[in-house]
Amino acid sequence: MRSLCILGSTGSIGVSTLDVVRRFPGKFRVRSLTAGRNVEKLAKQTREFKPDRIAVAEPDKVKDLRALLDGWTGDVLAGEDALCELAAEQESDYVVSAIVGAAGLMPTLAALEKGKLVGIANKEPLVMCGPLMQAAAEKAGATILPIDSEHSAVFQSARAGEKSELRKVVLTCSGGPFRQASADTMANATRREALSHPTWSMGAKITIDSATLMNKALEIVEAHFLFGVPYDGIHVWVHPQSIVHALVEFKDGSVVAQLGLPDMRLPIQYALTYPERWDGGLPVLPLERMANLVFEEPDRGRFPSLDFAYRAGQRGGTAPAVMNAANEVAVSAFLEDKIRFTRIFDLVGEALSKHAVKAMDSLETVLEADAWAREEVRKSCQ
């Protein structure tokens, strides 16, 4: 039985993970759950799944949390160190990394350093410092399993050949709510419009990232670090139906793809049951849904995000961390109505242009670059 620590259990991925767990009674034990500040949801999950320990990132929320626990008597912890403690403790062998943004870096790293199986949905830390995370995993014998749907699709498809036979990776992308919008509509897009994703239901930050295609930019870097494919071998196609999640091309010319409904429970389940496949009764893709699949080239003029990823990725070192940090702050500013939608592009582009890239020699260097980019963008948003 796998004993789970779910980091970010109250988010969209966290809730879907618990839904998968519910489908396999006796197969998983929930050892620990963590949340940022949503104590109502964390308390509800605690009452249902009865973990031994829970943690909330914001210490001032502990009192409210305790009041909601209804006779449950496990440990309640608080703060980032507590999240790291739960991710690293011996009693859990599988950690689901589902916090949003750079906040997930330290707990995910803590799990990797203890040699655990780590299912990673939280792509931002991988973009910031994928090589450091890989090195930590290798040193401790940890296994990284991708949960992001495109990366799960690459991972599954790539099993049809050897790593050395893989030539090209194609990540698909729904195109988001502004796939066919004019540049003017995009410039004046409201929060509500940007948050209306056509196919996936997700947390707010990744939904905005999907509208700017910054999500795909992050995923290009994520794919490079996870699969070791050079940047010129990673391509993006817009595929509005979100049925084909990724395709891989082998050196003999064969193309293998993974298909499924836009439902994160499938890639989550695969990461949890890997290397096996179990029947969790998830909805299956009806063949009729494949009658009109469309693939288009992304519009790199309206969506400069993809170029940011290639530029930052090829530059290497701290550049991807700066792209990520600038984007995180710009997205928050947009969600707080401080900036226009398309200003996100300017802010990420400016941070990348101004940044003096350093080699990724340590975590400190990455965190410094991350802090520098956040401050730069914050200043520009005032």
Residue 286 CA: distances (Å) to CA of 86, 123, 263, 270, 369: 40, 29, 13, 19, 46
Among 18, 82, 84, 100, the residue binding ligand NAD under the rule CB under 6 A is: 100
Residue 93 CA: distances (Å) to CA of 6, 116, 131, 143: 11, 6, 22, 11
SS3 at position 35: strand
Among 38, 46, 242, 342, the residue binding ligand NAD under the rule CB under 6 A is: 38
106 vs 357, beta carbon nearer ligand NAD: 106
Residue 376 contacts Mg ion per CB under 5 A: no
Beta bridge partner(s), residue 124: none
Q: Could you tell me the sign of the dihedral formed by the alpha carbons of 26, 32, 35, 37, in that order? A: positive
Region of 31-39, 69-77, 169-177, 272-280 interacting with ligand NAD (CB under 6 A): 31-39
- Number of residues near ligand NAD (by CB under 6 A): 26
Q: Residue 148 and residue 119: Cα distance in Å, rounded?
A: 9
Residue 43 contacts ligand NAD per CB under 6 A: no
In the complex, the smallest distance separating the C-beta of residue 150 from ligand NAD, rounded to whole angstroms, is 8
Region of 103-111, 149-157, 292-300, 341-349 interacting with Mg ion (CB under 5 A): 149-157
Question: Hey, what amino acid is at 219?
Answer: E
Residue 103 contacts ligand NAD per CB under 6 A: yes
Cβ(261)–Cβ(243) below 8 Å: yes
Among 54, 118, 264, 366, the residue binding ligand NAD under the rule CB under 6 A is: 264
The full DSSP string for 61-115 is GHHHHHHTSTT--SEEEESHHHHHHHHH-TT-SEEEE---SGGGHHHHHHHHHTT
Residue 110 contacts ligand NAD per CB under 6 A: no
Cα–Cα nearest to 235, from 154, 114, 342, 335: 154
In the complex, the smallest distance separating the C-beta of residue 215 from Mg ion, rounded to whole angstroms, is 6
Region of 97-105, 134-142, 157-165, 309-317 interacting with ligand NAD (CB under 6 A): 97-105
**Using CB distances below 5 to 8 A depending on partner kind, what does residue 76 bind out of ligand NAD, Mg ion, none?**
none
In the complex, the smallest distance separating the C-beta of residue 171 from Mg ion, rounded to whole angstroms, is 8
Cβ(214)–Cβ(123) below 8 Å: no
In the complex, the smallest distance separating the C-beta of residue 149 from Mg ion, rounded to whole angstroms, is 5
36 vs 249, beta carbon nearer ligand NAD: 36
Residue 304 contacts ligand NAD per CB under 6 A: no
Among 115, 203, 316, 349, the residue binding ligand NAD under the rule CB under 6 A is: 203
Q: Residue 188 and residue 268: Cα distance in Å, rounded?
A: 35
Residue 222 contacts Mg ion per CB under 5 A: no
Cβ(46)–Cβ(76) below 8 Å: no
150 vs 370, beta carbon nearer Mg ion: 150
Among 148, 209, 222, 370, the residue binding Mg ion under the rule CB under 5 A is: 148
In the complex, the smallest distance separating the C-beta of residue 219 from Mg ion, rounded to whole angstroms, is 6
Region of 38-46, 58-66, 144-152, 374-382 interacting with Mg ion (CB under 5 A): 144-152
Map 301-325 to HEC letters.
Answer: CCCCHHHHHHHHHHHCCCHHHHHHH
Cβ(344)–Cβ(299) below 8 Å: no
Give the burial string for 108-124 (b: 16+ CB within 10 Å, else e). bbbbbbbebbbbbbbbb
Task: Fill in the per-residue mask, 9 to 28: x = in contact with ligand NAD (CB under 6 A), - = not in contact.
Answer: xxxxxx--------------
Q: Residue 225 and residue 42: Cα distance in Å, rounded?
A: 32
Residue 123 contacts ligand NAD per CB under 6 A: yes
**Using CB distances below 5 to 8 A depending on partner kind, what does residue 306 bind out of ligand NAD, Mg ion, none?**
none
Other residues' Cβ atoms within 10 Å of the Cβ of residue 59: 12
- Torsion from C-alpha of 35, 39, 43, 45, nearest 10 degrees: -40
Among 24, 72, 200, 274, the residue binding ligand NAD under the rule CB under 6 A is: 200
Residues forming contacts to ligand NAD in the complex (CB under 6 A) are 8-14, 35-36, 38, 57, 98-100, 103, 121-124, 148, 200, 202-203, 205-206, 264
Query: Residues interacting with Mg ion, by CB under 5 A?
Result: 148-150
